[in-house]
Amino acid sequence: MSGWEAAADLVVVGSGVAGLTAALDAAEAGLRVVVVTKDSADAGSTGWAQGGVAVVLGDVAGDSVAAHVEDTLAAGGGLCDPAAVRAILADGPAAVARLRARGARFDGPDARPDRTREGGHSAFRVVHAGGDATGAEVERALVAAAGDRRLPLLTGHVAVDALLDARGTLAGLAVLDDAGRPGVLRTPAVLLATGGYGQLYASTTNPETATGDGVALALRAGATAADLEFVQFHPTVLYTGPAVGRRPLVTEAVRGEGAVLRDRTGRAFMAGVHPLADLAPRDVVSAAISRTLAESGAVCVFLDATALPGFGRRFPTVTAACRAAGVDPTTEPIPVTPAAHYSCGGVVTDLHGRTGVPGLYAAGEVARTGLHGANRLASNSLLEGLVMGERVVAAVLGDRAAGRPAPGPAVAPPPAVPIAPRGVVQRAMTAAAGIGRSASGLAAASDVVEAATALSVPCDRAGVEDAALTLLAQAVLAAAGGRTESRGCHLRTDFPARDDTWQRESLPIGLDATGRAVVLPALATTKGSAA
Ligand code: SIN
């Protein structure tokens, strides 16, 4: 790849909570940082987060980090890495304090911010901003801090491939601009903070940027991914009829503050499904809604928030979305349905964001640290982004200080990659790899994607995204087919029970010699270096 060349100590791909936190910390530590983002700086998933940041600040009677750990492990369905859960949650209060020092304002008095509760939490511990616009406030504060620091932001550039030297050490990053013009950033360190892959599905809470680019890039570079089958479906997005693309979220905090899910006859169907009823972990609620829809033939269920006082003030984002759809949430139940929301798995990293490829790091939704297991606890994601954004910079600095040999000349990666049309991929994944999967459905989806796939050279952002979605479809289908049990967000209709022989290990995903995503024999984690 020819075109322009530039050099940096650290290239951060993505400008959400993890990416900007890391970039700011790295710049403060004196590193030459460049942030690469394929859209505008605020176009990623962070800005869409509503509920808040789950964190124990020590001022809620009866709550503790140990209780937050317990709730996270319970939601994760036996697949969390307890050491990761303890370490990340313990770092939460300090990370939130630094975010506030960077200008983020939470609702309530500064000395004691307001708290809400979401599914799976045993306490009111979720801080929020702008009522239900927490992600927007976090993004605003970090983008403003990046501006104040004059962080170099390369917007409108999509990351294509990690460039490796002959030893497999990271030597740079190949990018394309909006017009498809190539460029190369020479660097010994790339942090992937690219978010998830909700756009694999026709209906999602994720923005258009969530196409799995980081996982695909890391797999092609030789890293391992895991837990990819655990795609979390948010139970409540506003139902406005059949549509493709991002749907407005109705934050779980609405249920946290008393709203009740009802079927079309008005029955509160979560009672008796789980001891926490409407506040059960998300996987439980989404599965119950899917069952209710399948049994009744209805297209949506209803979230009844009519008894909540001050709804418009507390939930301005949800209120605006409802009103735009002709629904008054203060007088009528909100029509809702589940939609793809969060990728619990991702690129396997240690607790400082190191992947298996020297010089390649990952943080935030793109990464699999072991915090989420089979189902992420609500509002643990912004927290993970803050904490891991900080931890990864410590690793980059430590790895530089350890005197790793400078990378040699980069070996060009193969230019052509498998690409299937996005619509084919989304329809196949929606039909077979949503809530309720079976061996026959997964195999049929795999056949459909395979038949539509051809080798091609991505020459613009859409091509890079389509290549990523194609690889992610292969990977999720392989992982979902391999896990012959139901656990967390992974619900198999042909294996409806949890099977504890599966509790041992996450399913590792890598590429075979032909570049196809496959389940690997053993999980090549970097767990030993976790600290
Ligand atoms: C929500 O507000 O319901 C979403 C928050 C999250 O996904 O953690």
Q: Which helix (H) or strand (E) is 204 found in, with range?
A: strand 203-204
| H runs (alpha helix) in 246-339 | 253-256, 282-296, 311-314, 316-324
- The CA 325 to ligand 1 mean position distance, Å, reads 21
Residues 208 and 343: beta-carbon distance below 8 Å: no
Q: What is the pLDDT of residue 527?
A: 36
Task: Report the nearest atom of ligand 1 relative to the CA of 236.
Answer: 3
Give the single-character DSSP code of 333.
P
SS3 512: coil
Q: Which helix (H) or strand (E) is 173 found in, with range?
A: strand 170-177
Residue 80 lies in a domain: no
Q: What is the pLDDT of residue 531?
A: 33
Residue 71 lies in a domain: no
User: Best mutation site among 45, 286, 379 for ligand 1, i.e. most ligand atoms within 8 A of its Cβ?
Assistant: 379
Domain count, the chain: 2
Q: Phi and psi dihedrals of 481, rounded to 5?
A: -70, -30
Residue nearest to atom 2 of ligand 1 (CA): 51
**Pairwise CA distance, residues 466 & 197, whole Å:** 11
- The CA 333 to ligand 1 mean position distance, Å, reads 20
Task: Report the nearest atom of ligand 1 relative to the CA of 134.
Answer: 2
List residues near ligand 1 (CB under 6 A). 49-51, 251-253, 342, 378-379, 381
Task: Report the nearest atom of ligand 1 relative to the CA of 54.
Answer: 8
User: Best mutation site among 17, 50, 230 for ligand 1, i.e. most ligand atoms within 8 A of its Cβ?
Assistant: 50
The percent helix, strand, coil of the chain (3-state, each to 5) is 35, 20, 45
CB atoms near residue 500 (< 10 Å): 10
CB atoms near residue 505 (< 10 Å): 11
SS3 478: helix
Judging by beta carbons within 10 Å of its beta carbon (0-12, 13-18, 19+), is residue 29 exposed, middle or buried?
middle
Distances 3 to 74, 231, 444 between C-alpha atoms, Å: 50, 37, 42
- The CA 80 to ligand 1 mean position distance, Å, reads 19
Task: Report the nearest atom of ligand 1 relative to the CA of 132.
Answer: 2
User: Best mutation site among 128, 233, 250, 252 for ligand 1, i.e. most ligand atoms within 8 A of its Cβ?
Assistant: 252
**Pairwise CA distance, residues 407 & 20, whole Å:** 25
Residues 163 and 410: beta-carbon distance below 8 Å: yes
| Domain stops at, among 338, 363, 380 | 338
Residue 275 lies in a domain: yes
Residue 501 lies in a domain: yes
SS3 423: helix
- Name the CA radius of gyration of the chain, rounded: 22
Distances 531 to 82, 242, 319, 353, 388 between C-alpha atoms, Å: 12, 46, 43, 11, 12
Q: What is the pLDDT of residue 174?
A: 97
**Pairwise CA distance, residues 49 & 68, whole Å:** 20
Residues 195 and 45: beta-carbon distance below 8 Å: yes
Q: Could you tell me the pTM of the whole model?
A: 0.95
Q: What is the pLDDT of residue 412?
A: 86
Give the single-character DSSP code of 80.
S
Q: What is the pLDDT of residue 414?
A: 83
CB atoms near residue 521 (< 10 Å): 8
Q: Which helix (H) or strand (E) is 462 found in, with range?
A: helix 461-482
**Pairwise CA distance, residues 18 & 213, whole Å:** 16
**Pairwise CA distance, residues 15 & 12, whole Å:** 8
**Pairwise CA distance, residues 195 & 15, whole Å:** 9
- The CA 206 to ligand 1 mean position distance, Å, reads 12
Residue 62 lies in a domain: no
Q: What is the pLDDT of residue 504?
A: 64
Residues 1 and 202: beta-carbon distance below 8 Å: no
Q: What is the pLDDT of residue 181?
A: 96
Residue 316 lies in a domain: yes
Number of helices (H) and strands (E), helices first, in the chain? 14, 25
Q: What is the pLDDT of residue 99?
A: 98
Give the single-character DSSP code of 44.
S
- The CA 205 to ligand 1 mean position distance, Å, reads 10
- The CA 328 to ligand 1 mean position distance, Å, reads 22
Transcribe 27-47 into DSSP letters. Answer: HHTT--EEEEESS-TT-SSGG
Q: Which helix (H) or strand (E) is 98 found in, with range?
A: helix 92-101
User: Best mutation site among 236, 251, 342 for ligand 1, i.e. most ligand atoms within 8 A of its Cβ?
Assistant: 251
**Pairwise CA distance, residues 239 & 322, whole Å:** 9
Domain containing 491 — which CATH number?
1.20.58.100
Residue 488 lies in a domain: yes
- The CA 377 to ligand 1 mean position distance, Å, reads 9
- The CA 50 to ligand 1 mean position distance, Å, reads 6
Question: Does residue 504 carry a catalytic annotation?
Answer: no
**Pairwise CA distance, residues 462 & 349, whole Å:** 27
Domain containing 299 — which CATH number?
3.90.700.10
**Pairwise CA distance, residues 95 & 186, whole Å:** 30
**Pairwise CA distance, residues 250 & 50, whole Å:** 8
| Domain stops at, among 322, 338, 354 | 338
- Taking alpha carbons only, the member of 382, 129, 132, 378 closest to residue 276 is 378
Residue nearest to atom 8 of ligand 1 (CA): 379
Domain that holds residue 490: 415-524
- Taking alpha carbons only, the member of 28, 144, 145, 51 closest to residue 390 is 28
Q: What is the mean pLDDT of each run of 10 residues along the chain (531 residues)?
A: 88 97 98 97 90 96 97 96 98 98 97 94 96 96 97 97 96 96 97 97 95 98 98 96 88 95 97 94 94 95 97 97 97 97 98 98 98 96 98 97 87 91 97 97 98 96 98 98 95 95 84 94 46 33
Q: What is the pLDDT of residue 458?
A: 96
Here the tokens at position 246 are 């991002």
Residue 97 lies in a domain: no
- Taking alpha carbons only, the member of 165, 162, 223 closest to residue 517 is 223
Residues 171 and 290: beta-carbon distance below 8 Å: no
**Pairwise CA distance, residues 354 & 50, whole Å:** 29
**Pairwise CA distance, residues 343 & 346, whole Å:** 7
Task: Report the nearest atom of ligand 1 relative to the CA of 250.
Answer: 3
- Does 242 lie in the same domain as 334? yes
- The CA 125 to ligand 1 mean position distance, Å, reads 13
Query: Which candidate in 86, 262, 282, 461 is catalytic?
Result: 282
